[in-house]
Amino acid sequence: MTKGVRRIVTGHRDDGKAVVIIDQQAVNVFHPPGRPGVQINNVWRQFEAPATLDGNADNAAEGEKIGLEPGPSGSVFRVIEFPPEGDWIGDVDREAAKESFKEFGSEHAADSSEEPPHPLMHRTETLDYAVIMTGEIVMVMDDSEVLCKAGDVVVQRGTNHAWANRSDEPCRIAFILINGKF
């Protein structure tokens, strides 16, 4: 069973004192179809930059539709758990990959080349910071692969890529996606 993510969000009382406004397991959780065992824990979404720091709204409440990419001038913070890839990955063709990204609101992100190095290759117009928290995972690029282990940090600059867990253990990665421009 995939472990959730405890989310602690601070804010201010009416008198200006700092307080914790949310302390609970992340409730905005997505299990993408066609990706058995993958769990996406959406921790926070910011709609603009600079970020609005007043108010006590929950920008990642249960039921909020949070896509793969943040909106214009926005950002998203999420923690994804990738289980080991199983035999199912061999059944993912271009159409299945597009469908998987469509469920996340980003069908356009799917690699449309005839023979991508991984069926779930994708590219978003974002700057992504990825911190490998536990386990290991292979970052697949157009013409190379990099084994990333716990403690490694990846700065993904709008490049075509996929994540492949070829180990026997789950891999947990914290991602911060910031809207970018090609």
**Distance in angstroms (rounded) separating the CA atoms of residues 163 and 122:** 10
Distance in angstroms (rounded) separating the CA atoms of residues 76 and 165: 23
Helices (H), the chain: 94-102
Beta bridge partners of 126: 179
Determine the average pLDDT of the residues in 12-19.
94
- The pLDDT-based confidence of 105 (bands split at 50, 70, 90) is confident
Closest CA to 42 of 21, 63, 71, 11: 63
How far is residue 80's CA from residue 130's CA, in Å, rounded to a whole number?
Answer: 10
Contact present, 73 and 48 (Cβ < 8 Å): yes
Question: Which of 155, 153, 173, 176 is closest to 163 using CA atoms?
Answer: 173
Distance from C-alpha of 105 to C-alpha of 177, rounded to nearest angstrom: 15
pTM of the model: 0.93
Given strand 75-82, what is the order of strands in its sheet? Answer: 28-30, 39-46, 75-82, 171-179, 126-134, 153-157
* Angle (CA) 77 79 81, round 5°: 160
Alpha carbon distance 88, 36 (integer Å): 8
Q: What is the pLDDT of residues 16-49, one digit of tens each?
A: 999 999 999 999 999 887 788 899 999 999 999 9
The CATH class of the 27-179 domain is mainly beta
- Split at pLDDT 50, 70, 90, the class of 135 is very high
CA atoms within 13 A on the CB side of 133: 13
